[in-house]
Amino acid sequence: MIPAEFDYVAPESLDAALAALREGGEDAKVLAGGHSLVPLMKLRLAAPTLLVDLRRVPGLTGIQRANGTVRIGAMTRHHAVATAPELGLAAKAAATIADQQVRNRGTIGGTIAHGDPASDLPAVLLALEGSVMVRGEREREIAATDLFQDYLTTAIADGEIVTEVRLPAGDGWGAGYAKFNRRVEDWAMVAVCASVRRAADGSCADVRVGLTNMSGVPLRANAVEQALRGGGLDAQAIAAAAGLAAEGTDPPEDLNASSDYKRHLARVLCRRALEEAAAAA
């Protein structure tokens, strides 16, 4: 399919990109990797009149760590995240995104701004209690808990650009990621991310669990976390907690799976992700 006609600019500074967005009004869109936006345009599900390409804007790529926080530039490609093992859970999740071609183009800022509940990194950001920095008329930080508002809807306003994704450095945490899809390059039918920190006696000091594609937004598996926190991390405790993974979820039925099957997948994948995280912690 051929997209509707649009104008295109590739500004060379963030201020120029923000100005172009402002001038373009509500039908102007940021273009990052284009791997979600361009397919939507080709299907005519999106018809922006202006694309503001961020590829020439300096300072939006790279991974830096300071004071216990990892800062990932919004234009950092999935491949760079997937091949940075120090990113722990985010690296594991990014490595499962589609295929190498998609990972070479898609960006962390794009996938977070797009807010697709079937995408891998939004649930990781939520579970790890990360945030995004955005620039519009002013700079502000949006916590992941406030970010994902509805299906494909985030708290990022028109005219704002995500500049950075922030995650806590995962020192002392073990990470596990379990995803189920029919073909390796497909989006998750369901995916579960888990991060576990052990106390000195080996018990569970803290745990974070995120669910992908179990609702219109990424979710935190609160019941699972509560069941594990402060207790054991043996196979029995993990299996019992993982049995609660579908609590409070509302998975939409789709061509691949019924809601009940997704709930079943969440429980199975939660156990696998937790076992992997506990073994690494």
User: Which tokens in the block code for residue 90?
Assistant: 């985010």
Among 148, 134, 163, 139, CA closest to 57: 163
Stretch that binds ligand FAD, among 84-92, 102-110, 217-225, 256-264 (CB under 6 A): 102-110
Nearest to 263 by CA among 276, 248, 251, 280: 251
Distance CA(204)–CA(44), nearest Å, equals 49
Q: How far apart are CA 266 and CA 195, in angstroms?
A: 16
Minimum gap (Å) between residue 206 Cβ and ligand FAD: 26
Nearer to ligand FAD by Cβ, of 107 and 195: the residue is 107
Q: Are strands 28-31 and 7-9 parallel, antiparallel or unpaired?
A: unpaired
Draw the binding track, 17-36, toward ligand FAD (x: CB under 6 A; -: no contact): ------------xxxxxxxx
Query: Is residue 154 part of the contact set for ligand FAD (CB under 6 A)?
Result: no
Nearer Cβ to ligand FAD, position 161 or 257?
161
Which of residues 54 and 228 has its CB atom nearest to ligand FAD in the complex? 54
Nearer to ligand FAD, 212 or 249 (CB): 212
CB 118 within 8 A of CB 124: no
Residue 117 is a binding residue for ligand FAD (CB under 6 A): no
Residue 99 and residue 184 in contact, taking contact as beta carbons nearer than 8 Å:
yes
Measure CA 59 to chain center.
Answer: 21
Q: With CB under 6 A as the contact rule, which of the stretches 6-14, 82-90, 111-119, 140-148 interacts with ligand FAD?
A: 111-119
Give the CA angle between residues 20, 55, 81 to the nearest 5°. 130
CB of 79 to ligand FAD, least distance (A): 11
Considering CB under 6 A, how many residues would be counted as binding ligand FAD?
Answer: 32
Measured from the CB atom, the residue of 102 and 155 that comes closer to ligand FAD is: 102
- Smallest separation (angstroms) from ligand FAD to the CB of 196: 23
145: left (phi over 0), alpha (psi -120 to 50) or beta: alpha
Q: Which is nearer to ligand FAD, 78 or 92 (CB)?
A: 78
Residues numbered 39-58 forming contacts with ligand FAD, rule: CB under 6 A = 39, 54
> Of residues 180-219, which lie at the interface with ligand FAD (CB under 6 A)?
185, 187
> 160-179: which residues touch ligand FAD (CB under 6 A)?
161-162
Note whether 82 binds ligand FAD by CB under 6 A. Answer: no
* 97 part of the interface to ligand FAD, by CB under 6 A: yes
Order of all β-strands in the sheet with 219-220: 173-180, 190-198, 204-212, 219-220
246 vs 269: CA distance, rounded Å: 11
Q: Where are the alpha helices (DSSP H) in the chain?
A: 14-24, 37-42, 78-82, 89-94, 100-105, 108-114, 120-127, 144-147, 222-228, 235-242, 259-280
**One of 41, 89, 98, 133 touching ligand FAD (CB under 6 A):** 98
Under the criterion CB under 6 A, does residue 107 sit at the interface with ligand FAD? yes
Interacting residues toward ligand FAD by CB under 6 A: 29-37, 39, 54, 74, 78, 97-98, 102, 106-107, 109-111, 113-114, 116, 119-121, 156, 161-162, 185, 187
